[in-house]
Amino acid sequence: MQAEQSMKNKRPAVGLPRLRKAATAFALACAFAVPALAQDDVMTPVATPAQPGAIVLGTGPLPGAAVPESWHRQYGSMFARNVTEATLTPFLPAAARATGAAVIVAPGGGFRTLSMNNEGWDVARALADKGVAAFVLKYRLNQTPADMAAFESEMARMFSGTARPQPQQDPAVTLAPQIADARAAFALVRSRASEWRIDPDRIGMAGFSAGAMLTMSTALHGQDAKPAFIANIYGPLAAVTVPADAPPLFVALAADDPFFARSGFGLVESWQAARRPVELHLYEQGGHGFGMYPKTTTSTGWFDAFARWLGMHGYLKPKG
């Protein structure tokens, strides 16, 4: 969530009340996260960019949505909001380098915007350079005002706490459209696995902030999605009930993250208790939304660590 770009925000497993609380607080707190970069912090509306190769997932328009999709630039990156129709954009490695592994990449943005560069396209290109096919999921979002000034005011009101609190809801209800988008993404990649030189059993998912929430929900409640591995990059770390076949989990978080750094490591402990593979990287500094930004903090090394982790699990070379 691009620090989540100044604008962020199943059936839950038994024992997920903490995750529900985290999701509720996150939707409010992430409305105005501290920018990852000091410069270029003004949100400037831009025309919808060309998205060559984007594939409509067919999950349908967001029910009841009236505000059309729009884009803006901030921190030198592109952001989408009011996404009503989900798409998946492939970033395929050169045939000679393809390992057969793939990753569905879920950008963050508090379910109100999507950090398409920092947590989407840039991540996908880096994965493709490693020989791993990557697919950026532009999932459907909660509606926000079409007018930029009204959008900023709404987010500011939410951040200030003056907005009426929403009752706690089942993530299976609140994230139902997004989970459906993720499931459709996995189904599409598997259906074209031969064409894209992908092993259908080696498809994982990596998410950032709100995208990390979606990644965890997809792994735990996505039914037929069944990611082979998952990465939670600065998402909530509340304890969950871990299924016996839970995929290997990679976690990266900065100790000064204003949202999730002081609520414990229940998620990691849950994976450990279930005797499932898990790796945690806690960086001293980095804040929230560091993504692919070239910051001076060690958090910038998360991608290299993730790549080494993929290599340790055999995903950086063809399956023998």
Higher model confidence: residue 158 or residue 99? 99
Higher model confidence: residue 26 or residue 319? 319
Two structure tokens written together for 194:
């031969």
Q: How far, in Å, CA of 160 to CA of 157, rounded?
A: 5
Looking at residue 162, its pLDDT comes to 57
Domains of the chain, with CATH numbers? 17-312 (3.40.50.1820)
Looking at residue 256, its pLDDT comes to 97
Looking at residue 159, its pLDDT comes to 57
Looking at residue 40, its pLDDT comes to 75
**pLDDT (tens digit, 9 = 90+) per residue, 148-165?**
999 888 777 765 655 555
Task: Tell whether the model's pLDDT for residue 5 goes beyond 50.
Answer: no
Lowest mean pLDDT, pick from 164-168, 219-223, 299-303: 164-168
Q: How far, in Å, CA of 253 to CA of 107, rounded?
A: 15
**pLDDT (tens digit, 9 = 90+) per residue, 6-52?**
333 333 333 344 444 444 444 434 433 444 444 578 899 999 999 99
Task: Tell whether the model's pLDDT for residue 173 goes beyond 90.
Answer: no
Higher model confidence: residue 168 or residue 186? 186
Q: How far, in Å, CA of 98 to CA of 133, rounded?
A: 7
Q: Which residues contact 198 (CB under 8 A, 6 or more apart)?
A: 98, 100, 101, 102, 133, 189, 192
List b or e across 291-317, with b for residues whose CB sees 16 or more CB atoms inside 10 angstroms: bbbebeeebbebbeebbebbeebebbe
**pLDDT (tens digit, 9 = 90+) per residue, 230-286?**
999 999 999 999 999 999 999 999 999 999 999 999 999 999 999 999 999 999 999
* Beta pairing, strands 55-56 & 70-74: unpaired
**pLDDT (tens digit, 9 = 90+) per residue, 296-315?**
999 999 999 999 999 999 99
Looking at residue 170, its pLDDT comes to 72
Lowest mean pLDDT, pick from 73-77, 92-96, 112-116, 276-280: 73-77
